Structure 1
Amino acid sequence: MKIGFYICAFLVFYTMIGYPLLLKILHKLLSHKKIKIDHSYQPMVSIIVPAHNEENVIEKKIVNLLNISYPKDKYEIIISSDNSTDKTNNIVKSYQVQHKDIIKLYNVESRKGKTNAQDEAVDIAQGEILVFTDANSIFDKQALTELIKTFSDKSIGYVAGKLSYLNSTENKTSESEASYWNIDLSLRLMESDLSSITAGNGSIYAIRKGDYIKIDPIFSHDSIFPPKFVNLGKRAVFNKDAIAFEKAGETDRDEFIRKVRMARKNIAINFIDIQKYNMKRNKLFSLFYISHRTFRNNLYLFHILLLLFNALIVLQGSPLIYLIFLIMQILFFALAAIGKNSSNKYIKLIFYYTMTLVAQAVAAFKEITGKSKAFWEKAGSTR
């Protein structure tokens, strides 16, 4: 019982505090991998935008992509409409009139989700490099140039850009998400400098068309591609200068739904491409993946077991220190329970952290019961 308690306590502490500290130490002590950049490298690029009923944002997205800093004859924009039933397709068609050589509309006949929409768009893409982005993400003017130049280094297989939240200070929900995200970005930067990142983000990332792999549509590229490319002997890197902007969810409900969706296949991901755990082969990357993904994706389980082991130890009449620790756990989750409407930043962060744990647990239950889906309804407050 006590062994289980100490293991779970260690896993929670290491995942949230120990690993970031370890990574900072490694980042200072170890040499950083260089990326050989050829600034003249400007291949043909296909920008793929999966969209389902995005009439509120698709025009802004198209205008944004038409005005990025990259030669107009060197990129195409493919809007892969996942059986949209609103005005999305009509808006795209209206821009095709003046930009028929750049803008393509691909209509997926039956809705099968984001990953399938990306797969079908890749089949018609003409670019050497595939850039993927969401309909509600806005590129910085230099974002595409920054993404693409990284591929002049042949050792690079996957490049993720930097997602920046536009509304990070507008309310406590978006502020909490931005705080978490900024910490995660700092970890990704250090992982990228030393080896490879362990996950991407759907707002802005790219791969070579020749390296594209079709995966089960229930999964997302964000979580599958980085370890897959590492297993193939290539690097997955983070380019902090390739920036995309989005709105974070402004309601707790929207953020909770988004987190459940993101964690929808966390259990299965543990067992996909198991070579990612091979430290003899992948060295630092395997350490990063286990610490940043495997442990973090299972935090809800560590917390449940920690609370259970702690309660059972106390019931057996163990030393006072175990009772104190149990009371601390109960107080922590009690603060989370009242933190939803709190104006205190730190209590709100406790609520946000606990909400993430609950979202992981809900996603795990849905996965076990076969209720995970390849498609979902977008969060309204992010548009």
Structure 2
Amino acid sequence: MDLLYKIIFYINGFIIVWAMVGYPVSLKIIGKLFKKRELKKDFSHQPTTTVMVVAHNEEKVILEKLNNIIELNYPKEKIEFLIASDNSTDKTNEIVKQFVKEHQNFNIRLYEVKKRKGKTNAQNEAQKTVKTEFLVMTDANSILDKDSVKELMAAFTSEDIAYVSGRLSIVNQTSSDVSSAEASYWDSDLATREIEGRIQTVTAGNGALYACRTKDYYDFDPIQCHDSSMPLLYALQGKRAIANHDAIAYEKAGEVIEDEFGRKVRMNRIILKHILPDIRILNIFKYKWFSYFYFGHRTCRYLLWISHLLVFITNALLLSESWFYVVMFVGQALFYLLALVRAITKSNNKYLTLVYYYCVTILAQWVGVYSILTGKAKPFWEKAESTR
């Protein structure tokens, strides 16, 4: 049995270390080997484009968003604006209708989803009314840089590029230790995505800002989200999903741990399917770097919840084997204890906060798995007020 425990311990230990340290470091090395590969842009590429904003009860931010998108630096005759209201019951629809009435020189329209089924369903329904060549999608609480759409379109330099993700910039990273931890996570993840997209394809985008060809749009199940599903779909089709981080969306991160925890639980509502969503990913001869990227950036991260538990349990069962297992077990116990201390004391210590934030992320994965197994996972959620 000890041999089995050791096998489980080392396999899951590798998954944790590879996800958090090994893969990011390896990617930096690979990025240097491919440093001559740069993102190409063609700013003369300005096709007809629809900017879709999905909103559910966003009366607090929708007017600011509307004023933001009509100021985008893009040919007025080539851009349309579509607000997909996911069964909003507050004043969101009224505000949009009034705005449309007052700005008839812009091509703005409202699509009202009659039954709330979540963001992806609202996008699926509204997309069927789109006639432009390209579709840019953004959230109601994200403020776009004036050149963001122009930058996204400039990155579609070849037919094999099916998806371009912009960069999410956290504007309130100094507001709290929670938003600071989230900003740190995004900074490291953006660096990873930049290299992945430059070499071949990213493994995920972000919901704040991304674009695709209208003809390439796919009706995903409402429980899925475009952030993780679109790049995967296109990669398996032999197309590329890339990142242009000069296309910027500004957004607030959750300032309280409850908001960030809730957001991460939502992100993990289909975590089990995304560990290995398609067996074809393993075919490195066909999908090349994408197989490597997905395993390191997605599969290993989506296994952290179970890997941490298995490492802890098998480590406890191997304590009598050698001093190494004693040291490893004490190290794990101290790590979780530090997170507990931060939770109880509310300390602002940077390092305690990072440990705490990481443990909250793992806990959110467990809650996501529980929701899936109990049938409680849903395609919609209540927004985090601290991000508005």
Q: Same fold (TM over 0.5)?
A: yes
Q: Which amino acid aligns with 1:150?
A: A
Q: Tell me the equivalent position of 2:294.
A: 289
* Residues 144-293 of structure 1 aligned to structure 2 (within 5 Å): 144-293=149-298
Distance 1:32 1:231, change over 3 A: farther
Provide the C-alpha distance between the structure 2 equivalents of 1:36 and 1:308, rounded to a whole number of angstroms: 49
Provide the C-alpha distance between the structure 1 equivalents of 2:39 and 2:19, rounded to a whole number of angstroms: 29
Q: CA deviation at 1:99?
A: 2.8
Provide the C-alpha distance between the structure 1 equivalents of 2:9 and 2:275, rounded to a whole number of angstroms: 23
Do structure 1's residue 97 and structure 2's residue 101 form an aligned pair? yes
Provide the C-alpha distance between the structure 2 equivalents of 1:149 and 1:174, rounded to a whole number of angstroms: 31
* Residues 223-372 of structure 1 aligned to structure 2 (within 5 Å): 223-314=228-319, 317-340=320-343, 341-372=346-377
Provide the C-alpha distance between the structure 2 equivalents of 1:164 and 1:228, rounded to a whole number of angstroms: 26
| Greater mean alpha carbon deviation, residues 255-264 or residues 36-45 | 36-45
**Which of 83, 104, 114 is equivalent to 1:79?**
83
Q: CA deviation at 1:152?
A: 3.4
Q: How many residue pairs align between the two structures?
A: 381
Q: Deviations over 1:239-272 (max 9, x none)?
A: 0100000000000000000000001101012343
Q: Deviations over 1:332-357 (max 9, x none)?
A: 00001111311110110000000000
| SS of residue matched to 2:241 | strand
Q: CA deviation at 1:30?
A: 3.1
Percent of aligned pairs with the same amino acid = 48
Do structure 1's residue 3 and structure 2's residue 7 form an aligned pair? yes
When normalised by structure 2's length, the TM-score is 0.96
Q: CA deviation at 1:41?
A: 1.4
Provide the C-alpha distance between the structure 1 equivalents of 2:241 and 2:362, rounded to a whole number of angstroms: 27
Q: Which amino acid aligns with 1:80?
A: A
- Aligned-pair Cα RMSD in Å: 1.2
Provide the C-alpha distance between the structure 2 equivalents of 1:50 and 1:375, rounded to a whole number of angstroms: 12
| Structure 1 residue runs of 4 or more that deviate by more than 4 Å after TM superposition | 31-36
Q: CA deviation at 1:31?
A: 5.7
| SS of residue matched to 1:293 | helix
Q: CA deviation at 1:133?
A: 0.3
Q: CA deviation at 1:164?
A: 0.1
Gap runs ≥5 in structure 2: none
1:277/1:286 contact within 8 Å kept: yes
Do structure 1's residue 39 and structure 2's residue 43 form an aligned pair? yes
Q: Which amino acid aligns with 2:328?
A: F
Provide the C-alpha distance between the structure 2 equivalents of 1:32 and 1:198, rounded to a whole number of angstroms: 21
Q: Which amino acid aligns with 2:57?
A: N
Q: Which amino acid aligns with 2:341?
A: I
Gap runs ≥5 in structure 1: none
**Which of 21, 24, 49 is equivalent to 2:53?**
49
